[in-house]
Amino acid sequence: MGERHDVVIIGAGPAGLAAAIYTGRGRLRTLVLEKGLPGGQILITDWIENYPGFPNGIAPFDLMEGFRKQALRFGAEIASDEVREVVSDPDPARAGGWLVRGSKGEYPTRTVLVAAGSEYRRLGLADESRLVGRGVSYCATCDGAFFRERDIAVVGGGDTALMEAVFLTKFARKVHLIHRRDALRGAKILQERVFENPKIEVQWSSVVEAVLGKDNVEGVLLRGLKDGSMSELAVEGLFVSIGTVPVTGFLKGLVALNEWGQIIVDARMAASRPGIFAAGDVIAGAPRQVATAAGTGVTAAMAVNEFLSTYK
Ligand SMILES: Cc1cc2nc3c(=O)[nH]c(=O)nc-3n(C[C@H](O)[C@H](O)[C@H](O)COP(=O)(O)OP(=O)(O)OC[C@H]3O[C@@H](n4cnc5c(N)ncnc54)[C@H](O)[C@@H]3O)c2cc1C
């Protein structure tokens, strides 16, 4: 167990690294813990077009390398470890602080900034992961523009799926909305927009059994739930919109979460316990974009700085 940090940031995605730039530059003793590669989930795509400041887009790896190097330049440490638990520091000499337990070590700290992101819920099909970025996507805002004049499918029936289906008609020639029930779940007004849109066709009571295609998505195999029939649908894109799962398991009830398991924060990104902050996709109502993750990371870092200036 090393010397106590001012802040331990959990996750080196856009939120965590943007926060580390600010806490490092604020001369706070900063440790970022990352279980995988620094950069976060944006690294699974090969191009980002909507991060401000790059009119022609940028490779996510290059963008996130810039974040990482800038955090290091200001003195933040980035270590490889998977956080398993955060508890009140049991050492009386460090009362009021926190202890972050990872699989490789324990890290005492004055504050914790949770930036562990969220994971898109997947269908769990054999070829789904292999074809991510090659037609399979979990984010219409991010990838829709790559499907101009193509036939594509959206899986889901909730608000997000309906919004994404309508949004995708700006680009696609045809959008098949695949839904497991015979009625949509999303808000009535969104349902009306779906039904009014001539580019959208709903595939009722159907589930995707397999994603087809060798190097890119070429279609999906559908199973009709009413009669068990199998049919192929030729599409070049498959947008899976069945929800996200925030990564908060290691908090084990430490801070208040909303009904979807996202961390409830105030306008300064403070969670329900003093000294715990959160930013990025893990917070309630996050718009789930790199720019907003970075923005909330910066807000949280400034709040950490302010909190520590009054810390005993
Ligand atoms: C396919 C795809 C395409 C996208 N395209 C775009 C786009 O074009 N434009 C855009 O703005 N956004 C896009 N996004 C969304 C964007 O990637 C996210 O909004 C953003 O990465 C969220 O940043 P974050 O820092 O909150 O979380 P993340 O990027 O998820 O980073 C969290 C980090 O925490 C780490 N972590 C998790 N648990 C632990 C733990 N227990 N211990 C240690 N480390 C942990 C993870 O390994 C990860 O590196 C896309 C997302 C996907 C999946």
**Domain segments of the chain: what residues?**
5-119+244-309, 122-240
Give the closest residue (by CA) to ligand 1 atom 9: 142
CA distances from 222 to 20, 155, 194 (A): 45, 11, 21
Residues in the chain where the model's pLDDT stays below 70:
1-2, 311-312
Structure tokens at 138: 């979990």
143 part of the active site: yes
Q: Chain-centre distance of CA 296, in angstroms?
A: 13
For the chain, give the number of residues. 312
Distance 60 CA to ligand 1 centre (A): 11
DSSP string computed for 191-215? HHHHHH-TTEEEETTEEEEEEE-SS
* Fold of the domain spanning 5-119+244-309: FAD/NAD(P)-binding domain (3.50.50)
Q: How far apart are CA 30 and CA 20, in angstroms?
A: 7
Quick check: pTM over 0.95? no
- Give distance in angstroms: CA of 213 to centre of ligand 1: 26
Closest residue CA from atom 10 of ligand 1 = 289
Render the burial of 261-284: b for 16+ CB within 10 Å, e for the rest.
bbbebeeebbbeeebbbbbbbbbb
Distance 117 CA to ligand 1 centre (A): 5
Reported as a single tens digit per residue, the pLDDT across 262-291 is 999 999 999 999 999 999 999 999 988 999
C-alpha distance from residue 36 to each of 199, 239, 282, 291 (Å): 40, 25, 17, 21
Q: Which CATH number fits domain 122-240: 3.90.230.10, 3.40.50.2000, 3.20.20.10, 3.50.50.60?
A: 3.50.50.60
pLDDT tens digits, 84-112: 999 999 999 999 999 999 999 999 999 99
Which one is catalytic: 6, 81, 89, 139?
A: 139
- Matching fold, domains 5-119+244-309 and 122-240: yes
Are the beta carbons of 280 and 15 closer than 8 angstroms?
Answer: yes
Q: What is the pLDDT of residue 46?
A: 75
